[in-house]
């Protein structure tokens, strides 16, 4: 079968012929119809991810059809929980934890074999590409906003970097939960699109003083994956006692974190990554109940995978970048 693997070549990602996986006991063989890219795929491409195993099939997200496995799954349309060995503690991943697609073979392939407990029925209101866009970003956004952020009715929520796949779902989840959701972006067009999606407003973080206007509103919850020196601005716009949820640090580490402001305002900086298996199920229920549709930036054919990765690398997308794998 064809799969995108990580290699030692100058261009580390290659569309190659690899052997078909087989379904072991309690596993299902899933024919992958669509798969989405995530930031970690690009990081692995750049050699910026710990423990890279060459030859590994990339990809954490997929929508597909079960072709082999326990009777009840036969022919079912499914999506895949990207957690490998989350473990028994709902709060924290185990020491054996990894994300599907490194070191375990991932979803950017025509077939994947997955333990059946990590399958869940594809939400019926989604097409294949939307369903493929949901798992990793949805799980990350759900834990960050709803579970750790406690974003609910009437809360003022700020989602930074509005165009990202996680951010898009974070906006949709918090709007659906009844929050007053604001966004930041470096691109006014993206802010406008978010307002069309139900956001109450937005701020251009390229304007040095964006935080002054934001501070007038005051945020109960801020959800961010950029990190860097903007973190001190978050401490200026978070309400006393508010929560800043960090699930990434793409712009690096803050140079001088204003600890005084942190303790005097009784604020919290809360780390969040992925989510538990039960949160994954809860997230999919929420998406079904609220009829949430992940924003798709663009769908690429598998053959054009390099174009898809390069679009991700350029970081100008709005929503998820998806590969169409099989018909």
Stretch that binds a copy of itself, among 26-34, 60-68, 253-261, 285-293 (CB under 8 A): 253-261
Q: Find where tokens 């079904």 sit.
A: 288
Residue of 101, 107, 24, 34 lying closest to 70 (CA atoms): 24
Token digits for 238?
């978070």
When asked if residue 241 is in the footprint of a copy of itself (CB under 8 A), the reply is yes
Of residues 64, 37, 60, the one with CA closest to residue 122: 64
Site string (265-284) toward a copy of itself, x via CB under 8 A: xxxxxxxxx-----------
Nearer to a copy of itself, 265 or 290 (CB): 265
Which of 90, 198 has the CB closer to a copy of itself? 90
DSSP-derived 3-state class of residue 57: strand
DSSP letter assigned to residue 109? B
Among 77, 116, 258, 282, binds a copy of itself (CB under 8 A): 258
> Using the rule CB under 8 A, which residue among 18, 197, 257, 306 binds a copy of itself?
257
Least Å from the CB of residue 196 to a copy of itself? 30
Pairing of strands 111-115, 27-36: antiparallel
47 binds a copy of itself (CB under 8 A): no
CA distance 228 to 249: 7
- 225 versus 295: smaller Cβ distance to a copy of itself: 225
Q: Which CB atom, from 66 or from 99, has the smaller least distance to a copy of itself? A: 99
Give yes or no for residue 98 binding a copy of itself (CB under 8 A).
Answer: no
With CA atoms as reference, report the closest residue to 141 among 279, 41, 312, 48. 279
Q: Enter the tokens of residue 100.
A: 């599907």
In Å, what is the CA distance from 230 to each residue of 186, 224, 247?
A: 13, 10, 14
Site for a copy of itself in 150-169 (CB under 8 A): none
Candidates 76-84, 199-207, 261-269, 294-302 — which segment interacts with a copy of itself by CB under 8 A? 261-269
Positions of E strands within 97-155: 98-99, 111-115, 119-121
How far lies 57's CA from each of 60, 81, 88, 322, in Å?
10, 16, 27, 16
Instruction: Count CA atoms within 13 Å of residue 238 on its CB side.
Output: 29
Among 72, 240, 314, 327, binds a copy of itself (CB under 8 A): 240
User: Residue 153 or residue 260: which is nearer to a copy of itself going by CB?
Assistant: 260
Q: Which residues within the stretch 75-94 sit at the binding site for a copy of itself (CB under 8 A)? A: 89, 91-93
Bridge partners, residue 182, by sequence: 158, 201
Stretch near a copy of itself under the rule CB under 8 A, chosen from 28-36, 149-157, 170-178, 264-272: 264-272
* Residue placing its CB nearer to a copy of itself in the complex, 71 or 263: 263
CA distance 214 to 181: 12
The one-character DSSP state at 116 is G
9, 216, 259, 314: which one contacts a copy of itself (CB under 8 A)? Answer: 259
Q: How far is the CB of 88 from a copy of itself (least distance, A)?
A: 13
Kindly list the residues in this chain that would bind a copy of itself in the complex (CB under 8 A): 89, 91-93, 227, 231, 240-241, 246-249, 253-260, 262-273
């Amino acid at each position: 079968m064809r799969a995108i693997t990580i290699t030692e070549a100058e261009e580390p990602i290659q569309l190659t012929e690899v052997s078909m996986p087989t379904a072991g006991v309690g596993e299902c063989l899933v024919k992958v119809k669509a798969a989405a890219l995530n930031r970690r795929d690009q990081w692995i491409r750049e050699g910026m991810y710990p423990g890279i195993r060459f030859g590994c099939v990339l990809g954490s997200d997929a929508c597909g059809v079960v072709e082999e496995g326990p009777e009840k799954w036969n022919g079912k349309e499914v999506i895949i929980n990207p957690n490998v060995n989350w473990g028994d503690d709902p709060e924290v991943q185990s020491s054996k934890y990894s994300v599907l697609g490194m070191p375990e073979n991932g979803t950017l392939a025509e077939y994947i074999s997955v333990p059946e407990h990590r399958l869940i029925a594809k939400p019926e209101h989604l097409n294949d590409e939307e369903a493929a866009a949901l798992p990793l970003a949805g799980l990350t956004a759900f834990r960050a906003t709803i579970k750790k952020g406690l974003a609910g009715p009437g809360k003022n929520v700020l989602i930074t970097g509005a165009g990202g796949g996680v951010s898009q779902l974070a906006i949709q989840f918090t709007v659906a939960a009844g929050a007053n959701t604001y966004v930041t972006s470096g691109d006014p067009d993206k802010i406008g699109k978010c307002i069309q999606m139900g956001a109450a407003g937005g701020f251009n973080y390229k304007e040095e003083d964006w935080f002054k206007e934001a501070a007038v509103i005051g945020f109960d919850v801020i959800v961010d994956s950029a990190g860097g020196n903007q973190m001190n601005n978050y401490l200026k716009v978070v309400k006393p006692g508010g929560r800043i949820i960090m699930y990434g640090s793409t712009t690096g580490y803050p140079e001088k974190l204003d600890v005084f402001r942190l303790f005097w305002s009784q604020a919290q900086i809360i780390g969040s990554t992925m989510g538990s298996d039960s949160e994954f199920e809860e997230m999919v229920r929420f998406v079904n109940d609220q009829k949430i549709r992940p924003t798709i930036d663009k769908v690429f054919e598998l053959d054009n995978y390099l174009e898809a990765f390069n679009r991700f690398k350029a970081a100008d997308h709005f929503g998820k970048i998806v590969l169409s794998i099989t018909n």
